[in-house]
Amino acid sequence: QVQLQESGPGLVKPSGTLSLTCAVSGGSISSSNWWSWVRQPPGKGLEWIGEIFHGGSSNYNPSLKSRVTISVDKSNNHFSLKLSSVTAADTAVYYCARETATADYGMDVWGQGTTVTVSS
Amino acid sequence: QSVLTQPPSASGTPGQRVTISCSGSSSNIGNNNVFWYQQLPGTAPKLLIYKNIQRPSGVPDRFSGSKSGTSASLAISGLRSEDEADYYCATWDDSLRGRVFGGGTKLTVL
């Protein structure tokens, strides 16, 4: 049973870089799945940030692309998110998720989410 | 403003059938498969429907999806109090070259 767990600072200063890691347990990050980051601002809907395949291929939300980097660490079985030049608008719950080939790359496993607040 | 349009709210009484719509365009729903997610209060989203109509193992058959042209729908029959949640449609957008979510529909069970 694959499980995902986000970790990282809960508070980031404006203009700083948000860095989160998603640890994958119960399965290999090198399987035939993509791995995604999704965020949800307080009281608002879901926003897709981007996705990565273990081979390094990635896709990003065009509205965030200039500030986002998603990477994979196969040796530690985790993937990471970096979002630069953050503002208060980046305050949100950040989720990592698995996009499984068996469900047409639907996000079938999610982390519990981690709250990140951008504030000085 | 999402490229996928959902009604902000929907409601029904226990036992009723409720339908939630998701409207898009030829670059997203019209050319790609649709997913539906359920988000219970305070929890992570859960995959309800993939490939327009398919249910993952464990999802009750009370939940069903459909797609026609550039629109999709999620139907919930035999409504239960535990179905009270936010529901999101999602798909790939060829123009944006990325995944998109609808704005979400808050379902209230009266």
Amino acid at B50: Y
pLDDT of residue A56: 85
- Tell me the per-residue pLDDT of B71-94, one tens digit each, with 9 for 90 and over: 999 999 999 999 999 999 999 999
Amino acid at A72: V
Average confidence (pLDDT) over B50-63: 97
How far is the C-alpha of A8 from the C-alpha of B23, rounded, in Å? 36
Mark yes or no for CB contact B45/A36 under 8 Å: no
Strand runs labelled E in chain A: 3-7, 11-12, 18-25, 33-40, 47-53, 58-60, 68-73, 78-83, 92-100, 106-110, 114-118
CA dihedral for B25, B27, B33, B35, sign (positive or negative)? negative
Nearest to A119 by CA among A44, A39, A11: A11
- What the block records as the tokens of A3 is 């499980």
The whole-angstrom distance between B94's CA and the closest CA on chain A is: 12
- Tell me the per-residue pLDDT of A60-70, one tens digit each, with 9 for 90 and over: 999 999 999 99
Q: Which of B20, B99, B105, B107 to mutate to test the interface with A (most CBs of A within 10 A)?
A: B99
- The CA-based angle A34-A31-A108, given to 5 degrees, is 50
- Tell me the per-residue pLDDT of A17-48, one tens digit each, with 9 for 90 and over: 999 999 999 999 998 899 999 999 999 999 99
- Tell me the per-residue pLDDT of A53-102, one tens digit each, with 9 for 90 and over: 988 899 999 999 999 999 999 999 999 999 999 999 999 999 999 999 88
Give percent of chain A with pLDDT exceeding 90: 92
